[in-house]
Structure 1
Amino acid sequence: MMQRFKAALLQRRNNLHIHSLRFLNQYHTRNLCSLPDTAITDEVDNQVLVEGKAWSRTAILNRPSVLNCLSTAMGARLQKLYTSWENNPDIGFVAMKGSGRAFCAGGDIVSLYHMINAGEYLGLTGQKLNGAEMISCGLATHYAHSSVKIVGPFLCFNHLCCLYKIVLPPFFPQKLALIEEQLGKLDTDDPSVIETSLEKYSDLVYLDNISVLHRIEILDKCFGHDTVEEIIDALESETSKTNDAWCISTLRRLKEASPLGLKVSLKSIREGRFQTLDQCLIREYRMSLQGISNQVSRDFCEGVRARMVDKDLAPKWNPPSLEQVSKDMVEHYFSPLSKSEPDLELPTELREAFT
């Protein structure tokens, strides 16, 4: 079984040309064939730790040196763990967290498909929401002061649509320990019980005066257009009239981003508003694999190189301008994967509806 697993990993890497991504080689790839089966198993097990209590389990991402960035092996182990826990009637509650200071580099990104125009703004600029903004938008359910930014998601396996995210900004580790202890004692997946447990440690939080959510009117005005070109034109017009600092910084971010990436992101956000969660996950899975396949462009690799490897912040995008991005280039990111790389399979039939 392990030999087949190794072979599958190597084949996947070859198909997607991952060996050409210097940043992946630098951080977490190794020659699996040079390691005995036990060494491979031990290494993967150590990257995802498990804490177990009577009625609950906690999966801990354990690669703090690279901000707990997910690898293929970690994903496979998580899938195995979640499948076993979901099929265990004696486990009512599951949590996930990251060791060290980060939850998961790239893994806590939330797609805001149902927020009119705010999704476009965040998706195209790469800006982040703070804890108060996440609460206001409904992306987080509870806020508690602590040393960890985000702990979660917390999933009730008998209600897989029920998702809790606790936002935990400044330093107060005692409260985090209390939250984990309280959740670890749960012997039910009843959402009302979980809600009551979390409410005990929640704090009220309010938006800062400089929050982008106070700029909804101008945000709608600029990001409500049909194309990236029209959005940029609107921002340039607003900037020339107001010389507003937010408009200036937002415009700069858009002009620094990958032209192809901007158009792919905008299409994804717009399509997501009319799709189910399963459809959104499948679409983003396709986009991710198409992005690292380098078949249309190497912009994903180039962006990582410029920001995380060489850190020169000077990516060379291809195509270099919005005008040179064709419709076919964008559509490729949403096309079905090759026969050797099947689409994402979701256990839809195992889910119970939750409203």
Structure 2
Amino acid sequence: MSEGEGSVLVRTAGRAGHVVLNRPRAINALNHAMVRRIDEALTAWEHDPAVETVVVTGAGERGLCAGGDIRAVHDDARDGDGTASAAFWRDEYRLNARIARYPKPYVAVMDGIVMGGGVGISAHGRVRIVTERSRVAMPETGIGFVPDVGGTWLLGRAPGELGTHLALTGVAVGAGDALLCGLADHYVPSDALPALLGDLAALPVREAVVRHVQAPPEGELARHREWIDACYGAGTVEEILDGLLAHGDPAAKEAAQTLLTRSPTALKTTLASMRRARRLGTLEEVLDQEYRVSCAGLTGPDLVEGVRAQIIDKDRDPRWSPATLAEVTDADVERFFAPLGERELGLGGVGDRVGV
């Protein structure tokens, strides 16, 4: 029995292989054993002619996946040497890349909460379904961390500066905005999901999905494109913040107030990560960069403090260090991108092999 078998249920139904994340009390948060179990299933099905489609869902009513097991990362950063977290990310990011290149249709049902690592195991898939219950986010700056699991690749390809807005603020979006930002492909009402899953057992993916797709509810971001593109196109986080505060739209000021609660170091590193990701040619190269950034994050104070404040003590009052944007130097940011030598993830250079 695989170490992660209880927390990831694997089964087949007709022509479909099903991966069910099964930690509902933790909103199916991913740990290392779960990542290994998913990878085992993809390996088994890749050359199995009986499995034509892979379908990923989450157990329980709250969502597909709330992210990685950040408590374990917190404990490793605070009490350990970071090697356990680095090993987890190494396998997780490799899984993200594998999902993006998987030779068979990979259908992710992004119902409910889909955040952080949950985005990594869904939004790189070939067919991504959202519902009226979907809440999709990369909320890392709120815990002193930087978007990973290919998040800077995905958000860097969103229209205009929408991805920069989502990466810096960490705010969650619904189905309409997830579709607009390229994080999802189709809208299916949640009450139609059982029928969709039944059809995926018997029909080709396109035929099954088209039976249930509906027009999505209207999102919010499209009507805010003017100030989002203008403000987030600035060169620095300080300039972005100044632009948001000076803008007349109340939503821009609300975004500014959100940024003021985030880790200053994480904000500056996230902006640099997004800008650099746009210049990189492949998801694999971006994952290599994110791995460097994540590993560097283990050695700073803000990740431990952010998780403490938001998840462990829940006082919602993190004490960031440095405490202000002005105190975060270019050298502070640059250290996150330092090469890792023999510890590099080493995915870069893998080209696009599978069309979406």
CA distance in 2: counterparts of 1:250 and 1:225, whole angstroms:
15
Partner of 1:202: 213
Q: What is the CA distance between 1:143 and its match in structure 2?
A: 0.6
Indicate how the Cα distance of structure 1 residues 80 and 337 shifts in structure 2: closer, same or farther if over 3 A, else same: farther
Residues 125 and 254 in structure 1, CA contact (< 8 A), matched pair in contact too: yes
CA distance in 1, matches of 2:21, 2:340: 28
Which of the numbers 273, 277, 286 marks the counterpart of 2:278?
273
Shifted more, 99-108 versus 281-290: the winner is 281-290
* CA 1:70–1:223: 2 relative to 1, 3 Å: same
Q: Measure the CA separation in 2 of the matches of 1:185 and 1:202.
A: 17
Give the partner amino acid of 1:145.
P
Conserved? CA contact 1:50–1:60, under 8 Å: yes
Q: Residues 1-355 of structure 1: matches in 2 within 5 Å?
A: 41=1, 44-100=4-60, 101-106=62-67, 107-108=118-119, 109=138, 110=151, 111-115=154-158, 116-146=160-190, 172=191, 175-186=192-203, 193-208=204-219, 211-238=220-247, 242=248, 244-275=249-280, 276-291=282-297, 293-294=298-299, 297-337=300-340, 339=342, 341-343=343-345, 345=347, 348=350, 352-354=353-355
Structure-2 change in CA distance of 1:75 and 1:346 (3 Å):
farther
Deviation of the 1:237 alpha carbon? 1.9
Question: Could you report, residue by residue, the CA deviation over 1:246-274 in whole angstroms, capped at 9, with x for unpaired residues?
Answer: 12211111111000000111111111222
CA 1:236–1:266 in structure 2 vs 1: closer, same or farther (change >3 Å)?
A: same
The higher radius of gyration belongs to 1
Q: For this pair of structures, how many residues does the alignment match? A: 271
What TM-score do you get using the length of structure 2 for normalisation?
0.70
Q: Which residue of 2 aligns with 1:162?
A: none
Query: What is the deviation of 1:277?
Result: 1.6
1:142-183 CA-to-partner distances (Å, cap 9, x unmatched) read 11111xxxxxxxxxxxxxxxxxxxxxxxxx2xx211111111
CA distance in 1, matches of 2:254, 2:182: 26
Could you tell me how far apart the structure 2 residues matched to 1:64 and 1:346 are? 34
Q: Which residue of 1 aligns with 2:91?
A: none
**Separation in 2, partners of 1:83, 1:92:** 13
Question: Structure 2 CA distance, aligned partners of 1:99 and 1:344?
Answer: 33
Measure the CA separation in 1 of the matches of 2:48 and 2:231. Answer: 49
Give, as a single letter, the amino acid of the residue that structure 1 aligns with 2:227.
I
Q: Is 1:336–1:343's contact at 8 Å kept on the other side of the alignment?
A: no
In structure 2, what residue type is equivalent to 1:114? R
Change (3 A) 1:88 1:342: farther
Q: Residues of 1 paired with 2:301 and 2:347: CA distance?
A: 27
TM-score, structure 1 normalization = 0.71
- Deviation, structure 1 residue 328: 2.4
What RMSD over aligned residues (CA atoms) do the two structures have, in Å?
A: 2.2
Structure 1 Cα separation of the partners of residues 285 and 3 of structure 2 = 33
Paired AA for residue 290 in structure 2: E
Shift of 1:343: 0.8
Q: Tell me, which stretches of 5 or more residues in structure 1 are unaligned? A: 1-40, 147-171, 187-192
Partner SS, residue 199 of structure 2: helix
**Deviation of the 1:94 alpha carbon:** 0.6
Q: List gaps (5 residues or longer) in structure 2.
A: 68-117, 120-137, 139-150
Give me the whole-angstrom Cα distance separating, in 1, the residues matched to 2:43 and 2:349. Answer: 10
Identical aligned pairs, as a percentage?
33
SS for the counterpart of 1:201 is: coil
CA change 1:266–1:346 in 2 (3 A) is closer
| 2:345 maps to amino acid | D
Task: Call closer, same or farther: CA 1:354–1:42 in 2, change over 3 Å.
Answer: closer
1:201-250 superposed Cα distances (whole Å, 9 cap, x missing partner): 01112425xx1220111111111101101111111222xxx3x3212211
Residues 142 and 288 of structure 1, relative CA distance in 2, 3 Å threshold: same
The letter of the residue matching 1:180 is: L
Partner amino acid, structure 2, of 1:129: V
Alpha carbons of 1:338 and 1:62: their partners in 2 closer, same or farther (altered >3 Å)? farther
Q: 1:89 to 1:330 in 2, by over 3 A?
A: farther
CA distance in 2 between partners of 1:184 and 1:84 (Å): 18
- Counterpart of 2:323 in structure 1: which amino acid? P
- Secondary structure at the aligned position of 1:207 is classed as coil
Residue 155 of structure 1 corresponds to which residue in structure 2? none
